[in-house]
Amino acid sequence: MLAHIWSHFDYWAMIFLAMAGLFIVIARGNLIKKLVGLGIFQTSVYLLYVAPGKIVGGTAPIVAEGFRVYSNPLPHVLILTAIVVGVATLALGLALVVRIREAYDSIEEDEILRRDQAPDGGGEA
Protein backbone atom coordinates (compact mmCIF):
# COMPACT_ATOMS: atom_id res chain seq x y z
CA MET A 1 0.00 0.00 0.00
CA LEU A 2 2.69 2.48 1.02
CA ALA A 3 4.73 1.51 -2.02
CA HIS A 4 1.69 2.13 -4.17
CA ILE A 5 1.16 5.57 -2.67
CA TRP A 6 4.85 6.37 -3.07
CA SER A 7 4.97 5.32 -6.71
CA HIS A 8 1.95 7.53 -7.45
CA PHE A 9 2.89 10.37 -5.12
CA ASP A 10 2.44 13.03 -7.81
CA TYR A 11 -1.23 12.05 -8.13
CA TRP A 12 -1.66 12.12 -4.34
CA ALA A 13 -0.08 15.57 -4.23
CA MET A 14 -2.47 16.68 -6.96
CA ILE A 15 -5.51 15.29 -5.14
CA PHE A 16 -4.43 16.89 -1.85
CA LEU A 17 -3.88 20.30 -3.47
CA ALA A 18 -7.15 20.12 -5.39
CA MET A 19 -9.16 19.22 -2.31
CA ALA A 20 -7.40 21.83 -0.16
CA GLY A 21 -8.07 24.52 -2.77
CA LEU A 22 -11.70 23.56 -3.24
CA PHE A 23 -12.19 23.46 0.55
CA ILE A 24 -10.86 27.00 0.90
CA VAL A 25 -13.16 28.24 -1.88
CA ILE A 26 -16.19 26.72 -0.18
CA ALA A 27 -15.36 27.26 3.50
CA ARG A 28 -13.91 30.79 3.56
CA GLY A 29 -16.10 33.88 3.46
CA ASN A 30 -13.28 36.28 2.61
CA LEU A 31 -13.31 37.01 -1.10
CA ILE A 32 -9.48 37.21 -1.37
CA LYS A 33 -9.04 33.89 0.46
CA LYS A 34 -11.54 32.31 -1.91
CA LEU A 35 -9.37 33.43 -4.83
CA VAL A 36 -6.29 31.98 -3.13
CA GLY A 37 -8.12 28.66 -2.81
CA LEU A 38 -9.17 28.86 -6.44
CA GLY A 39 -5.54 29.46 -7.39
CA ILE A 40 -4.39 26.38 -5.47
CA PHE A 41 -7.17 24.33 -7.08
CA GLN A 42 -6.11 25.42 -10.57
CA THR A 43 -2.43 24.84 -9.81
CA SER A 44 -3.08 21.26 -8.76
CA VAL A 45 -4.18 20.48 -12.31
CA TYR A 46 -0.87 21.73 -13.70
CA LEU A 47 0.73 18.88 -11.76
CA LEU A 48 -1.65 16.34 -13.29
CA TYR A 49 -0.44 17.36 -16.76
CA VAL A 50 3.24 18.07 -16.16
CA ALA A 51 4.23 15.14 -13.91
CA PRO A 52 3.36 12.28 -16.32
CA GLY A 53 5.17 14.13 -19.12
CA LYS A 54 8.51 13.44 -17.47
CA ILE A 55 10.04 10.01 -17.98
CA VAL A 56 12.93 8.97 -15.73
CA GLY A 57 16.09 9.12 -17.86
CA GLY A 58 14.17 10.80 -20.66
CA THR A 59 15.67 13.70 -22.54
CA ALA A 60 14.38 16.56 -24.62
CA PRO A 61 12.76 15.32 -27.85
CA ILE A 62 15.65 16.14 -30.15
CA VAL A 63 16.95 13.36 -32.38
CA ALA A 64 20.57 12.79 -31.40
CA GLU A 65 23.13 10.00 -31.22
CA GLY A 66 22.84 7.83 -28.12
CA PHE A 67 19.43 8.98 -26.84
CA ARG A 68 16.45 6.69 -27.18
CA VAL A 69 14.10 7.78 -24.35
CA TYR A 70 12.35 11.11 -24.72
CA SER A 71 10.08 13.09 -22.40
CA ASN A 72 6.82 14.45 -23.88
CA PRO A 73 7.08 18.24 -24.19
CA LEU A 74 3.43 18.80 -25.12
CA PRO A 75 1.97 18.78 -21.56
CA HIS A 76 4.32 21.58 -20.57
CA VAL A 77 3.21 23.69 -23.50
CA LEU A 78 -0.44 23.03 -22.67
CA ILE A 79 0.11 24.02 -19.06
CA LEU A 80 1.88 27.18 -20.13
CA THR A 81 -1.43 28.13 -21.73
CA ALA A 82 -3.35 27.05 -18.64
CA ILE A 83 -1.05 29.17 -16.44
CA VAL A 84 -1.81 32.21 -18.59
CA VAL A 85 -5.52 31.50 -18.21
CA GLY A 86 -5.03 31.11 -14.45
CA VAL A 87 -3.20 34.44 -14.20
CA ALA A 88 -5.94 36.19 -16.18
CA THR A 89 -8.62 34.65 -13.98
CA LEU A 90 -6.84 35.68 -10.78
CA ALA A 91 -6.23 39.21 -12.08
CA LEU A 92 -9.87 39.62 -13.06
CA GLY A 93 -11.01 38.13 -9.74
CA LEU A 94 -8.84 40.54 -7.75
CA ALA A 95 -10.03 43.48 -9.87
CA LEU A 96 -13.62 42.50 -9.07
CA VAL A 97 -12.78 42.32 -5.36
CA VAL A 98 -11.34 45.85 -5.51
CA ARG A 99 -14.56 47.09 -7.12
CA ILE A 100 -16.67 45.15 -4.62
CA ARG A 101 -14.76 46.75 -1.74
CA GLU A 102 -15.33 50.20 -3.24
CA ALA A 103 -19.05 49.53 -3.58
CA TYR A 104 -19.69 47.68 -0.31
CA ASP A 105 -16.76 48.70 1.91
CA SER A 106 -16.27 45.04 2.78
CA ILE A 107 -14.80 41.87 1.30
CA GLU A 108 -16.62 39.42 3.60
CA GLU A 109 -19.28 37.44 1.79
CA ASP A 110 -21.92 37.40 4.57
CA GLU A 111 -21.42 41.11 5.24
CA ILE A 112 -21.98 41.89 1.54
CA LEU A 113 -25.13 39.75 1.39
CA ARG A 114 -26.43 41.48 4.53
CA ARG A 115 -25.86 44.95 3.06
CA ASP A 116 -27.77 44.06 -0.07
CA GLN A 117 -30.75 42.85 1.89
CA ALA A 118 -30.96 45.93 4.13
CA PRO A 119 -31.70 48.82 1.70
CA ASP A 120 -34.15 47.14 -0.66
CA GLY A 121 -36.58 45.13 1.43
CA GLY A 122 -39.31 45.26 -1.22
CA GLY A 123 -37.07 44.02 -4.02
CA GLU A 124 -37.18 47.39 -5.76
CA ALA A 125 -33.68 48.20 -6.95
Q: Compute the residue count for the chain.
A: 125
* Residue 64, CA distances (Å) to 55, 56, 59, 70, 73 in order: 17, 18, 10, 11, 16
Of 5 and 103, the one with the shorter C-beta distance to another protein is 103
Q: Is 15 in the site for another protein (CB under 8 A)?
A: no
Q: Please report whether residue 40 would count as binding another protein according to CB under 8 A.
A: no
Are 32 and 73 in contact by the 8 Å Cβ rule? The answer is no
Tell me if 112 contacts another protein by CB under 8 A.
yes
Closest CA to 18 of 41, 35, 34, 46: 41
Binding region for another protein (CB under 8 A): 18, 22, 25, 31, 34, 38, 41-42, 45, 48-49, 52, 75, 78, 81-82, 85, 88-89, 92-93, 96-97, 99-100, 103-104, 112, 116, 122-125
